[in-house]
Chains A and B, each alone.
Chain A
Amino acid sequence: MSIPEPIMMETDVLVVGGGTAGPMAAVKAKEKNPKLRVMLLEKANVKRSGAISMGMDGLNNAVIPGHATPEQYTKEITIANDGIVNQKTVYAYATNSFRTIEELDRWGVKFEKDETGDYAMRKVHHLGTYVLPMPEGHHMKKTLYRQLKRTRVEVINRVIGTRIITDKQGRAAGLMGFDCRTGQFVVIRARAVILCCGAAGRIGLPSSGYLFGTYENPTNAGDGYAMAYHAGAELANLECFQINPLIKDYNGPACAYVTGPFGGYTANSHGERFIECDYWSGQMMWEFYNELQSGKGPVFLKLDHLAEETIANIEVILHTNERPSRGRFHDGRGTNYRSKMIEMHISEIGFCSGHSASGVWVNEKAETTVPGLYAAGDMASVPHNYMLGAFTYGWFAGENAAQYCADTMPAEVDETQIAVERARIMAPLACSDGIPPAQLEYKLRRMVNDYLQPPKVTRKMELGLERFAEIGEDIGQLNAANPHELMRAMEVQHIHDCANMAAHASLFRTESRWGLYHYRADFPERNDEEWFTHCHLRKSADGRMESIKRPVEPYILPLDDEEKTAYQRLRVVKEAVNV
């Protein structure tokens, strides 16, 4: 097919990804300096994109005065993440969490409030109270879109980024990619780039075998992780995989955060509660996994003991917000919360700092290790950051990138990187007789499941790397019949990068930590002496993948001994009572 000429564009702040963090970053960059040109790039359409394309049913980490303190929250996340935390980044989120909520409230997002007008907080975490329901959260994307229009951010839809442009000093200077409708090569020169590309949700294959039946929105293929890696940025603690407890086959959240405060809980096949706390952590997933594999398995969401009006209320929240097709799934199976427990399972693996801690490293200003390159949301390394953390760090990234533009002029760019990337993108269209992207993707992701799914085993991960290398050879034979298939062909290369990073990072840390997320069968113990440290991964000067240790920053909020082990005591101790 003939492809029209490349599109060349120029802006000051380029935001990549229009889901959650991205629109906030763009709006805040523009508000910081209305004279700046701010462009928001989205591979889908900003009206319905990212993890919250249909909305969100609540805030999972709201730090609201009178209900929680930033200090308490920072300590809880430190514990939930087994101590490997840059507390400054979590604390920066926590101290700005309420400001973000107030801003969203002003923008028209509706939060649940009690009869006095106070936020109706719910307790889901092990220690503190941070959950705030949004029963009308399906308006979220519309609310964000209005703000983009109000601030006159330039929106470009259906363009997927594939590589960051760097200048001769190694600073971010723009982005390359292509239009997934026309196949046109796109070059955008920018003075600062903010990556908000979401989780890497397509590394593993869901147990259904359906490539797009992932927990994460499958547009989140790990583009941001791959782009940051190739730009020379460091990625943090990738071995702390995201693995979530989900409705089996449907693969959406169960969701204990919503049902817990109403009296629902995760149970084994006897209907017994086996974990004290349903908040997603590596330790919780470890207990979940053990129960799933045991004679008391599988695991269920139990609601059948609740009153009719409670269940009806839960149904409205769960079947109209984040994943509204869920009611249809239950109808098809003939399962009803009133009469039966709902079978659960664990998700495929992924990277996502929003839920765990695997992300592109950022500091408390949302800066990556590459000057001029920022990251926010699920792909940035602030642990357990969820949607509200994405908004808050999007805010930081937008303001700081705007400031950076005022202070810095880009240096000269080596133009050969652009010719090289253009050739790489156009290759699958030129290859008329090769491997379809879906076939290569299926094989790659099936191998990820076979070799990287915890319990992690050294020899298996080494074999996985061998298989990934073989598949890497096949990438040269990828064939795309049209621009849509080209998008899949480039995404599968991002997935391939992520699979390699997942194996590499997991092999480096020779201990077990974060419960199931990084359980190594041949190194089953936690080893604080050697591994109480961040592990960063980056591309070395000679183009190889390398891992390095980075010390955990001194705590600003020290933990006492009782707190330190709170998340290691999640299993119900006493003989479980059948409720």
Chain B
Amino acid sequence: MTYAAHRTSVPVTVDEEKCIAHKGCTVCVDVCPLDVLAIDMLKGKAYMKYDECWYCMPCEKDCPTGAVHVAIPYLLR
């Protein structure tokens, strides 16, 4: 079976200026009920790895620096 790339606009975005994942913070990754966020180890920043979002907002509310923003997924907007 072959796989095609499937581009998607993700609802959760991270302001890399504010994100302190490089200091060891993983709060947004820890609290996501769907486990869709991850830390980019090269950049030391959080990002949305899987477009599987319930737009529930713990990642945004619990982020200590206000770096995370949750938008309504495009299909629902």
Which residues of chain A are near B67, meaning CB under 8 Å?
none
Within 8 A of B (CB), among A71-101: none
Cβ of A242 under 8 Å from chain B: no
Report B63-77 residues with CB < 8 Å from chain A CB. Answer: 70-73, 75-77
Q: Does A329 sit within 8 A of B, measured CB to CB?
A: yes
Query: How far, in Å, is A488 (CB) from chain B's closest CB?
Result: 8
A219 pairs with B34, CB closer than 8 A:
yes
**Is A209 within 8 A of B33, CB to CB?**
no
> B52 to A208, Cβ gap below 8 A?
no
Does B58 lie within 8 Å of A325, measured CB to CB? no
> Using Cβ atoms and an 8 Å threshold, which residues of chain B touch A329?
72, 76-77
Residue B48 at the chain A interface, CB threshold 8 Å: no
User: Is A526 on the interface with B (CB-CB < 8 A)?
Assistant: no
Given A54-B57, A212-B53, A214-B54, do A44 and B32 touch, yes or no (CB 8 Å)?
yes
Interface size on B, residues (CB 8 A): 26
Whether A48 pairs with B62 at a CB distance below 8 angstroms is yes
Contact A213 B76 (CB under 8 A): yes
Residue of B nearest to A247 (CB): B76
Dominant SS among interface residues on chain B = loop
B residues less than 8 Å from A213 (CB atoms): 54-55, 73, 75-76
Contact between B33 and A49, CB atoms less than 8 A apart: yes
Expressed in whole angstroms, the Cα–Cα distance for A238 and B52 within the complex equals: 27
Q: Is A507 an interface residue (CB 8 A)?
A: no
Number of A-B pairs, beta carbon distance below 8 Å: 90
Q: Which of B43-64 contact A (CB under 8 A)?
A: 49-50, 52-58, 61-62
Cβ contact of A53, chosen from B30, B33, B70, B77, cutoff 8 A = B33
In contact, B32 and A433 (Cβ under 8 angstroms) = no
List chain B residues, Cβ under 8 A from A218. Answer: 34, 52, 54
Interface residues of A in 123-142 (CB under 8 A from B): none
A contact residues around B5 at 8 Å (CB): none
Chain A CB within 8 A of B31 CB: yes
Establish whether residues B73 and A210, one from each chain, have CB atoms under 8 Å apart when the complex forms: yes
User: Given A54-B57, A180-B35, A435-B1, does the pair A325, B72 have CB atoms closer than 8 Å?
Assistant: yes
Given known contacts A325-B72, A328-B71, A332-B72, A487 and B35 CB-to-CB distance under 8 angstroms? yes
Assess whether A211 is interfacial by the CB under 8 Å rule.
yes
Q: With an 8 A cutoff between CB atoms, is A513 at the interface? A: no
B35 adjacent to A48 (CB under 8 Å):
no
Distance between Cα atoms of A433 and B1 in the complex (Å): 6
Q: Which of A319-340 contact B (CB under 8 A)?
A: 323-325, 328-329, 332-333
Inter-chain contact A217/B72, CB cutoff 8 Å: no
CB distance from A407 to the nearest CB of B (A): 36
How big is chain A's contact interface, by range?
Answer: 35 or more
Cα of A436 to Cα of B51 in the assembled complex, Å = 14
Complex contact B52–A212 (CB within 8 A): yes
Q: In chain A between 234 and 253, which residues have their CB closer than 8 angstroms to a CB of chain B?
A: 249-251
**Inter-chain contacts of A551 with B (CB < 8 A):** none
Shortest beta-carbon distance from B69 to chain A in Å: 10
Beta-carbon contact of B76 and A251 below 8 Å:
yes
Q: Is the CB of A47 within 8 A of B77?
A: no
A332 to chain B, nearest CB (A): 5
A323 to B56, Cβ gap below 8 A?
A: yes
A324 near B31 with CB under 8 A, answer: no
B52 touches A434 (CB 8 A): no
> Are B1 and A210 touching (Cβ within 8 A)?
no
Determine the distance from Cα of A54 to Cα of B61 in the docked complex, in whole angstroms. Answer: 9
Q: A48-B62, A325-B56 are in contact. Are A332 and B77 (CB under 8 A)?
A: yes
Beta-carbon contact of A212 and B34 below 8 Å: yes
Asked if A67 CB lies within 8 Å of chain B CBs, one says no
Chain A: which residue is nearest B77 at the CB level?
A: A332
Q: How far is the CA of A50 from the CA of B55 in the complex (A)?
A: 14
Partner of A217, one of B56, B62, B70, B73: B56
Give chain B nearest CB distance to A343 CB in angstroms. 13
Chain A hits for B33, CB < 8 A: 44-45, 48-50, 53, 217, 219
- How long is the Cα–Cα vector from A307 to B31 in the complex, in angstroms? 38
Q: Tell me the chain A residues, 492-521 only, with Cβ under 8 Å from chain B.
A: none
The answer to whether the Cβ of A484 comes within 8 Å of any Cβ in the partner chain is: yes
Asked whether A158 is an interface residue with its Cβ less than 8 Å from the other chain, the reply is yes
Q: How far is the CA of A323 from the CA of B75 in the complex (A)?
A: 18
The complex places the Cα of A50 from the Cα of B33 at a distance, in Å, of 8
- Distance A274 CA – B76 CA, assembled complex (angstroms): 27
Neighbouring A residues of B50 by C-beta, 8 Å: 484
In the complex the two chains form, what is the Cα distance from A434 to B3 in whole Å?
Answer: 10
Cα A180 to Cα B56 in complex, Å, equals: 20
- Most A CB within 10 A of own CB, among B34, B54, B57, B75: B54
Which residues in B have their C-beta under 8 angstroms from that of A487?
A: 35
Q: Which of A196-238 contact B (CB under 8 A)?
A: 208-214, 217-219
B56:A54 contact, CB within 8 angstroms: yes
Bits for A416-438, please: 1 = Cβ < 8 Å to B, else 0: 00000000000000000111100
B77 contacts which chain A residues (CB < 8 A)? 249, 329, 332-333
In the complex with contacts A217-B54, A218-B52, A484-B50, A434-B76 CB distance below 8 A: no
In the complex, besides A209-B75, A213-B54, A219-B34, 9 extra interface pairs with C-beta distance below 8 angstroms are: A45-B30, A47-B58, A53-B58, A54-B57, A210-B73, A214-B54, A249-B76, A323-B56, A328-B72
Hey, which bits of chain A sit against chain B, CB under 8 A? 44-45, 47-50, 53-54, 158, 180-181, 208-214, 217-219, 249-251, 323-325, 328-329, 332-333, 433-436, 479, 484, 487-488
8 residue pairs A–B, Cβ–Cβ below 8 Å: A45-B30, A47-B31, A212-B73, A251-B76, A328-B70, A434-B1, A436-B3, A487-B35
Counting from the closest, the 9 A-B pairs by CB-CB distance are A48-B58, A48-B31, A44-B33, A210-B75, A325-B55, A212-B52, A208-B76, A249-B76, A219-B33
